[in-house]
Amino acid sequence: MESLFEQSSLFLQQLVNGITLGGVYALIAVGYTMVYGVIQLINFAHGEIYMLGAFLAYTMVTVLGLPFFAAFALTLVICAVFGILLDLIAYRPLRNAPRLAALITAIGMSIFLQNLALMIWGSQIKSYPREVLPPVFSKAAWTFGEVSLSWLQVFILSVTVVFMILLHLIIHKTRIGTAMRAVSQDKTTSALMGIGVNRVISFTFAIGSAMGGMAGILVGLYYNAIFPTMGYIAGIKAFAAAVLGGIGSVPGAMLGGGVLGIAEVIGAGYISSEYRDGISYAVMIAVILFKPSGLIGRQIGEKV
Amino acid sequence: MPRPQEVNRSQVLIIGLVLLALMLPWLPFGASTNYILRVLTTAVLYMILALGLNIVPGFTGLLDLGYVGFYGIGAYTSGLLAIHYDLSLWVILPLAALNGALWGILLGAPTLRLTGDYFAIVTFGFSELVVLVLRNELWLTRGPMGLPGISPPSIFGHPLTRDWEFFYLIVFLLAVVFVVVRRMEDSRLGRAWFAIREDEIAAQCCGVNLIRYKVTAFAISASIGAMGGAFYAKWFKFIHPDMFKFWESILILCLIVFGGMGSIWGTMLGALILIPLTEILRAVLPQSLFSARYLIYGLILVLMMRWRPEGLIPFESAQAEKAKQTQKRLTGLVGKE
């Protein structure tokens, strides 16, 4: 009886950790899925924006000595601007080029940014100094037997939920959101209806990148480790989440992130911790093979 | 009628290059001869790898990000066969190529139905899974301890040890791969691939079986990659899972993008320029900066796609040349009538 209780509380703890992780994946996945929705491009460099978010906030709190929440907000803004610039410099000139060219550019940008970060910040793992963070983060918010939920987890989950709701409102209740949905359906017709397609694409990059940068800070806090290659694995996992939910669909990205986060933590705990990263790849490959439209995505037919 | 002077020009080029390669070990470079030979052996190995990868994005127009997975499979096939069964290189090379092709078919058959973007991601996932398996299946691969003590290859009972012997061997392998790829380019197979690259739907309408030709391309590409890996294991005599990470795929992709995607001469030139350049960087830059060398490769990918997507030696011009010749021949015929 005792061991059963211990087991179930371990399981609950894993579930809590999984949901936290899933929320962060969902934040990154939203960036992939929105960009894919409007320009049908897998923005490989998105994972690097997530990494830059973590490093920018780190630099602001350590070198510039800004308070944590100011750095947090400022990082969001810088990442948004960065996303717009990325599109402007790298992707916009290739809008009418073959898809292979845009895809190769995206990979090139990802590699470039990753190594730029390596040159600037070095390959050593860094962590946010404890004294600059709000002290409440490391305290437990809620404990039940063996299961505990830290204030940091509460912070991550609530930030995720708040921004997801905000995003939903932007997409469905504002003019620019309506324009985004129109552009994702048909760019040419949207342009004919008077929508500034490039402006909408820039806006999409800005939102996606801000969420990605925010996810970078949250993961940096959660694992207490930031390093230049962090965007590479997280980017692929978030892409897996986007595919799982159905690429192009924002609620799908949220659902996919949650499912993947839980699957990863539970899988690492009960199946094999060596293959922790492999679980995401396997889930992604399986979904692409057997249900490419994802859990709640729409079927994308190829146009002749 | 074949035009003798045209044929001669490319033949002269090939013969000249082969002679140059054969003479190279005996040129008076003094003490640095062995170093130069090792760098060039690496460059030629990457020329083979680039020729293999080129078949998928270059000829068929699909982005393959998992090429290094097949390279790793080939290297471990070769290393394990050499250690456990002590087979000769001439048995190992075909077996490794076969194993690569097998995995190529296993991965390609279900995934090549997907659109290009998804295919790129799935191949990426595959190469990551290969590294994870190499790292974690200790009973087979010894994991992060690597596979040391791979016996050197031997020819007629004479084991290869010196740098020029390996250089000759890899030049010979390159010649074989070059002839195979060159012949495929001008065959029914190659024409079907180009048709798929230019327009999948049009190709399908003309009766090209998309899946069959794509899987063939993928399997052949994989077997060339695996063969390169098999040579690498026998040459370096030590292999480690970290040698087959995603970065290598990017490097090889960069070679063909730089040289000219789809162009055989271009991909070889790309490898011949960039690989020695990497070695120069390794010698010149401090370790911390050298580890960020992929910055340059990433930049090359972006800049080439923006300003010169056809690469140094464009594929198109070769095609256009051919079309012009055909045109000339046809108008000549019309003139005679």
* Cα-to-chain-centroid distance, residue B251: 11
Nearest of B201, B243, B208 to residue B115 by alpha carbon: B201
A1 pLDDT higher than 70: no
- pLDDT tens digits for range B171-199: 999 999 999 999 998 889 999 999 998 88
Nearest of A11, A36, A10 to residue A249 by alpha carbon: A36
* Whether the Cβ atoms of residue B172 and residue B35 lie closer than 8 Å to each other: no
Quick one: A273 exposed, middle or buried, by C-beta within 10 A (0-12, 13-18, 19+)?
exposed
Q: Which two tokens stand for residue A54?
A: 């973590």
The whole-number pLDDT of residue A304 equals 42
Mean pLDDT, range A193-201, rounded to an integer: 92
Mean pLDDT, range A161-190, rounded to an integer: 90
B1 pLDDT higher than 50: no
Q: Give a yes or no: residue B31 inside a domain.
A: no
Alpha-carbon span A164 to A87, nearest angstrom: 23
Residue % of chain B over a pLDDT of 70:
91
* Whether the Cβ atoms of residue A283 and residue A260 lie closer than 8 Å to each other: yes
The shortest C-alpha distance from A170 to chain B (Å) reads: 28
B10 pLDDT higher than 80: no
Domains of chain A (ranges, CATH numbers): 15-290 (1.10.3470)
Q: How many domains does chain B have?
A: 1
- Residue from the list A104, A232, A240 with its beta carbon closest to the beta carbon of B301: A104
* Whether the Cβ atoms of residue B255 and residue B46 lie closer than 8 Å to each other: yes
Q: Which residue has the tokens 């051919």?
A: B322
Residue % of chain A over a pLDDT of 90:
33
The shortest C-alpha distance from B252 to chain A (Å) reads: 12
CATH code for position B291:
1.10.3470
Alpha-carbon span B271 to B50, nearest angstrom: 7
Residues of A in contact with B201 (CB under 8 A): 302, 304
Q: Give a yes or no: residue B131 inside a domain.
A: yes
Is A104 close to B135, i.e. CB distance below 8 A?
Answer: no
Mean pLDDT, range A266-286, rounded to an integer: 79
- Residue from the list B120, B293, B294 with its beta carbon closest to the beta carbon of A103: B120
Mean pLDDT, range A43-57, rounded to an integer: 93
- pLDDT tens digits for range B200-251: 889 989 888 889 999 999 999 999 999 999 999 989 889 999 889 888 898 9
Task: To the nearest 10°, report the CA torsion of A183, A188, A190, A196.
Answer: 80
Quick one: A15 exposed, middle or buried, by C-beta within 10 A (0-12, 13-18, 19+)?
middle
Alpha-carbon span B262 to A4, nearest angstrom: 61
Within 10 angstroms of residue B143's Cβ, the number of other Cβ atoms is 17
DSSP, collapsed to helix, strand or coil, labels residue A93 as: helix
The whole-number pLDDT of residue A302 equals 46
Helix, strand, coil percentages in chain A from 3-state DSSP, rounded to 5:
75, 5, 20
Q: Give a yes or no: residue B252 inside a domain.
A: yes
Is B301 close to A111, i.e. CB distance below 8 A?
Answer: yes
Q: Where are the beta strands (DSSP E) in chain A?
A: 140-144, 147-150
Phi, psi of A29 (to 5 degrees): -60, -35
Q: Between B293 and B273, whose confidence is greater? A: B273
Write the single-letter amino acid at B112: L
Q: Which residue of B has its CA nearest to A240?
A: B121
Q: Give a yes or no: residue B28 inside a domain.
A: no
Q: Which residue has the tokens 């990470």?
A: B245
Is B292 close to A274, i.e. CB distance below 8 A?
Answer: no
Residues of B in contact with A123 (CB under 8 A): 291
Q: Give a yes or no: residue B99 inside a domain.
A: yes
Within 10 angstroms of residue A183's Cβ, the number of other Cβ atoms is 25
Q: Give a yes or no: residue B82 inside a domain.
A: yes
Q: Give a yes or no: residue B101 inside a domain.
A: yes
Helix, strand, coil percentages in chain B from 3-state DSSP, rounded to 5:
80, 0, 20
pLDDT averaged over chain A?
A: 86
Q: Determine the angle formed by the axes of helices B264-284 and B163-185, rounding to 10 degrees.
A: 150
Number of H helices, E strands in chain A: 11, 2
pLDDT tier, B83 (very low <50, low <70, confident <90, very high otherwise): confident
Q: Which residue of A has its CA nearest to B247?
A: A111
The whole-number pLDDT of residue B337 equals 39
Alpha-carbon span B200 to A111, nearest angstrom: 30
DSSP codes, A107-160: HHHHHHHHHHHHHHH-SS-B---GGGS-GGGGSEEEEETTEEEEHHHHHHHHHH
The whole-number pLDDT of residue A187 equals 87
The whole-number pLDDT of residue B219 equals 95
The whole-number pLDDT of residue B335 equals 45
- pLDDT tens digits for range B100-145: 999 999 998 888 887 777 888 888 888 888 998 998 888 888 888 8
- Considering A209-213, A250-254, B18-22, the range whose residues carry the highest mean pLDDT is A209-213
Nearest of A240, A286, A233 to residue A259 by alpha carbon: A240
The whole-number pLDDT of residue A303 equals 42
pLDDT tier, A301 (very low <50, low <70, confident <90, very high otherwise): very low
Neighbouring C-alpha atoms within 13 Å toward the C-beta of A182: 19
* Whether the Cβ atoms of residue B163 and residue B99 lie closer than 8 Å to each other: no
Q: Which residue of A has its CA nearest to B143?
A: A274
Residues of A in contact with B288 (CB under 8 A): 122
For B66, the domain range is: 39-336
B2 pLDDT higher than 60: no
Q: Strands B158-159, B154-155: parallel, antiparallel or unpaired by DSSP? A: antiparallel
The whole-number pLDDT of residue B22 equals 81
Q: Give a yes or no: residue B11 inside a domain.
A: no
The shortest C-alpha distance from B299 to chain A (Å) reads: 6
Quick one: B5 exposed, middle or buried, by C-beta within 10 A (0-12, 13-18, 19+)?
exposed
The whole-number pLDDT of residue B325 equals 64
Mean pLDDT, range A230-237, rounded to an integer: 86
